[in-house]
Copies of this chain bind each other. A is one copy, B any other.
Amino acid sequence: MKLTVKLIDIGTRGVLLHRLDASDIGVLDGDRVQVTNYTKGLSATAVVTRTSTLIERGTIGIYAVTNSRLHLADGEAAEVRDAERPASLDYIKKKMRGDRLTKEETYTIVKDVVDDTLSPAEITAYITASYIHNLDMDEVEYLTRAMVDSGERLTFTTKPIVDKHSIGGVPGNKISLLVVPIIAASGLRIPKTSSRAITGAGGTADLMEVLAPVEFSASEVQQMTQKVGGVIVWGGATNIAPADDRFIMVEYPFKIDARGQMLASVMAKKYAVGADVVVIDIPVGRNTKVPDVQEGRKLAREFMELGERFNMRVECALTYGESPVGHSIGPCLEVKEALAVLEGATNPNSLIQKSLSIAGILLEMSGKAALNHGYDTAEKLLRNGKALEKFREIIEIQGGNPKVASGDIAPGEHQFVVNAPQSGYVIELNNKSLISIARAAGAPHDRGAGIYIHAKKGTKVAKGEPIFTIYAERSWRLQKAIEVGRQLMPVVVEGMLVDRVPQVHWV
Question: Can you report 11 residue pairs joining A to B where beta carbons are below 8 Å apart?
Answer: A10-B16, A89-B253, A89-B254, A96-B128, A96-B132, A120-B120, A121-B250, A121-B253, A122-B254, A124-B124, A128-B132
Q: Choose the segment among A24-32, A210-218, A260-268, A495-503 that binds chain B (4+ C-beta atoms closer than 8 Å).
A: A24-32
Candidates B28, B96, B119, B440; contact of A131 at CB < 8 Å: B96
A51 interfacial contact with B, CB 8 Å: yes
- Closest chain B CB from A437 CB (angstroms): 12
- Closest chain B CB from A357 CB (angstroms): 33
A291 interfacial contact with B, CB 8 Å: no
Residues of B contacting A252 with CB < 8 Å? 28-30
Which positions 299-355 of chain A face chain B at CB distance < 8 Å? none
A249 interfacial contact with B, CB 8 Å: yes
Pairwise interchain contact B254-A125, C-beta atoms closer than 8 A:
yes
Interface size class of chain A, counting residues whose CB lies under 8 Å from the partner chain: 35 or more
A53 interfacial contact with B, CB 8 Å: yes
Q: In the complex, A54 Cα to B63 Cα: how many Å? A: 12
Which positions 123-142 of chain A face chain B at CB distance < 8 Å? 123-125, 127-129, 131-133
Besides A96-B132, A128-B128, 17 new A-B residue pairs in contact (Cβ under 8 A), listed by A number: A9-B54, A10-B10, A10-B54, A11-B49, A26-B439, A29-B249, A30-B252, A30-B253, A85-B253, A89-B254, A93-B255, A96-B256, A119-B253, A120-B120, A121-B121, A121-B124, A125-B127
Pairwise interchain contact A122-B253, C-beta atoms closer than 8 A:
yes
Q: In the complex, A49 Cα to B129 Cα: how many Å? A: 25
Proximity string of chain A (90-125) to chain B, C-beta cutoff 8 Å, 1 when within and 0 when not:
001100101000000000000000000001111111
Q: In the complex, A51 Cα to B64 Cα: how many Å? A: 12
Candidates B89, B129, B133, B256; contact of A93 at CB < 8 Å: B256
Pairwise interchain contact A28-B96, C-beta atoms closer than 8 A:
no
Smallest CB gap from A63: residue in B: B10
Contacts A96-B128, A121-B124, A132-B98 given; indicate if A51 touches B254 (C-beta within 8 A): no
Q: In the complex, A256 Cα to B61 Cα: how many Å? A: 29
The CB with the most chain B CB atoms within 10 A, among A29, A96, A128, A249, is that of A128
Residues of B contacting A9 with CB < 8 Å? 54
- Closest chain B CB from A450 CB (angstroms): 15
Which positions 161-212 of chain A face chain B at CB distance < 8 Å? 198
Which positions 60-104 of chain A face chain B at CB distance < 8 Å? 61, 64, 85, 89, 92-93, 96, 98
- Closest chain B CB from A1 CB (angstroms): 10
Q: In the complex, A96 Cα to B256 Cα: how many Å? A: 10
Which positions 3-21 of chain A face chain B at CB distance < 8 Å? 8-12, 16
A23 interfacial contact with B, CB 8 Å: yes
Proximity string of chain A (381-397) to chain B, C-beta cutoff 8 Å, 1 when within and 0 when not:
00000000000000000
- Closest chain B CB from A408 CB (angstroms): 24
Pairwise interchain contact A54-B11, C-beta atoms closer than 8 A:
yes
- Closest chain B CB from A24 CB (angstroms): 8
Q: In the complex, A370 Cα to B235 Cα: how many Å? A: 75
Residues of B contacting A16 with CB < 8 Å? 10
Pairwise interchain contact B11-A10, C-beta atoms closer than 8 A:
no
Candidates B11, B98, B128, B253; contact of A51 at CB < 8 Å: B11
A373 interfacial contact with B, CB 8 Å: no
Residues of B contacting A463 with CB < 8 Å? none
A445 interfacial contact with B, CB 8 Å: yes
Which positions 456-507 of chain A face chain B at CB distance < 8 Å? 480
Residues of B contacting A125 with CB < 8 Å? 124-125, 127-128, 253-254
The CB with the most chain B CB atoms within 10 A, among A16, A89, A96, is that of A96
Q: In the complex, A250 Cα to B89 Cα: how many Å? A: 12
Smallest CB gap from A14: residue in B: B12
Contacts A53-B11, A198-B28, A440-B26 given; indicate if A128 touches B122 (C-beta within 8 A): no
Residues of B contacting A446 with CB < 8 Å? 23
Contacts A28-B198, A93-B254, A120-B121 given; indicate if A12 touches B128 (C-beta within 8 A): no
Q: In the complex, A93 Cα to B51 Cα: how many Å? A: 33
